[in-house]
Chain A
């Protein structure tokens, strides 16, 4: 049987475990696909040909001796803020352009142990700050569904690689929407688990109280398999949650009987335009047709999410990125003393968005403004979390848009705040630490565009309720099959 790179993770693992197709053949087929579409897509900052071959051969030998792996031979894209020993790990920044990771992130290690094989390090907005991948200092990634449009961000390279069949699972990180938004833009499932469910050890930190690793995949089942491989306590991450993890891939459902789905009164989709409004209306009808009960819930602080986030995240980033000072790793530009060396290195190493966020965070934390900005935002965060807790008294899941528009054209969001608005629907869940995912829910042709572009439905669950969340998303995905209704703009996978 030839290597089928368009299959799901379970299908690939079954074939590789059964010896119908070797991991080596899977890797070679994936590398051939990468060679053929990368000139158009640009999903990867580096392709790991040698490492992938070594891992595949080692895996094939272990399978030949009788071992079995849940993700055997599954090609993996790793966002370039995740450490993978021996690979250049850039964070999309000139600061780390040549930095080689001396160890492997726990989440990546879990995927390796499950048999997945990293084939490349994926492009991203610099230090995960952005919603289009345009803030990468090291490359341009294009949306496989319309090459004139962005793939979303910050996990844009992971999204584009999976959408273009250059990997089966993409690992991303989500601080305010950086998995869910690119997944919605690239016709994928993007899943951010509960804060603390997946170890952040080896994830280069942006905003530590918000950062969470998760998968981008072409199906809910693949997302569940990746989550099952990665979730769990890790002594290397002090915020990792020591709490039993129930497997999710064996609990996926085909209907939604008995599930109460909340629709947020404050998330009025009429203002998104009639095409988009129709898609989300239809999604609610489809959920209802599957047996769900739709109830209205309120998030009175929804409109304060963005303001809260744009104080907390920059404050944490200004602290986390202080380590990039030209001393121990990364770029150094010399100066007469250490302070001048620090200032020059950071000026040369960071791009404009990273500088903006460090500056705003430094200001919010500075003497005299700390209470007015940072503490105030932390209090508002309490209200956002309380709003959700109250809403979940009336429902089991919340349905909302993932984004306010489909993927936009390059350079169309020139003012920083218009880019920040892209995360309006995803930020509140991040502030509350809740598990949330985006699943394909329909298509619209943007004004002035020629191609239909995907939209994502965001489903959110209470803390630690990943299992019912994925189960419901699976039922919706199987009943609607939106993802397969339009084709990408690049060559199809040869079958």
Chain B
């Protein structure tokens, strides 16, 4: 485990966060520092250890496929930044630049 491959601009692209040049430098250094700390996990012998996603045992939960009331459309759309009729409006998706 090493931080030498940390390309912060690429990661920011994956995370869809526009960073300023100053942020690229600052976050790059801070995340490099954190990766140095988490590298201690390399000391542990984990080859035969199963991964834990969640500690309390749980199973897939199913429910009856029944119609039931949901949130009111007007109430939900009231939280959207931009709407058009009964829809959330977004900028162009197809044929992205």
Given A196-B56, A346-B17, A337-B50 contact (CB < 8 Å) = no
The complex places the Cα of A334 from the Cα of B89 at a distance, in Å, of 11
Given A376-B46, A416-B30, A304-B40 contact (CB < 8 Å) = yes
Does chain B have a CB within 8 A of A432? yes
Does chain A have a CB within 8 A of B85? no
- CB neighbours (8 Å) of A336 from chain B are 91-92, 97
Q: Are B1 and A373 in contact (CB under 8 A)?
A: yes
- CB neighbours (8 Å) of A347 from chain B are 17-19
Q: Are B31 and A363 in contact (CB under 8 A)?
A: yes
The complex places the Cα of A346 from the Cα of B13 at a distance, in Å, of 11
Q: Determine chain A's interface SS by DSSP, over half rule.
A: helix
Q: Are A343 and B81 in contact (CB under 8 A)?
A: no
Does chain A have a CB within 8 A of B25? no
- Tell me the B1-46 residues at the A interface (CB within 8 Å): 1, 5-6, 8, 11-12, 14-19, 23, 27, 30-31, 33-35, 37-44, 46
Q: Are A366 and B37 in contact (CB under 8 A)?
A: no
What distance in Å separates the Cβ of B6 from its nearest Cβ neighbour in chain A?
A: 6
- Tell me the A299-332 residues at the B interface (CB within 8 Å): 301, 303-304, 306-308, 310-311, 318, 322, 325-332
Number of chain A residues close to chain B: CB under 8 A = 74
- CB neighbours (8 Å) of A322 from chain B are 16
- CB neighbours (8 Å) of A417 from chain B are 33-34, 37
Does chain B have a CB within 8 A of A138? no
Q: Identify which of A308, A338, A383 contacts B90 (C-beta below 8 A).
A: A338
Does chain B have a CB within 8 A of A263? no
Known: A328-B80, A352-B23, A376-B42. 20 other contacts (CB 8 A): A99-B79, A100-B79, A102-B78, A194-B56, A235-B63, A304-B44, A307-B40, A310-B38, A311-B38, A329-B80, A331-B81, A339-B96, A352-B27, A358-B15, A359-B12, A359-B15, A362-B11, A379-B46, A379-B52, A382-B51
- Proximity string of chain B (53-64) to chain A, C-beta cutoff 8 Å, 1 when within and 0 when not: 111101001010
**A–B Cβ pairs within 8 angstroms, 28 of them:** A100-B78, A194-B56, A209-B53, A235-B63, A239-B56, A239-B58, A241-B56, A301-B44, A303-B40, A304-B43, A307-B40, A310-B37, A327-B81, A328-B79, A336-B91, A337-B92, A347-B18, A355-B17, A355-B23, A359-B8, A359-B15, A359-B17, A378-B52, A378-B53, A379-B46, A382-B49, A383-B49, A463-B55
Q: Identify which of A103, A340, A379 contacts B50 (C-beta below 8 A).
A: A379
> Total contacts A to B, CB within 8 angstroms?
181
Q: Identify which of B8, B41, B82, B93 contacts A380 (C-beta below 8 A).
A: B41
Does chain A have a CB within 8 A of B66? no
Does chain B have a CB within 8 A of A433? yes
A-B pairs, 10 with minimum CB distance: A433-B55, A332-B81, A378-B51, A343-B18, A347-B18, A379-B46, A329-B79, A307-B38, A362-B15, A382-B52
Q: Identify which of B12, B14, B56 contacts A195 (C-beta below 8 A).
A: B56
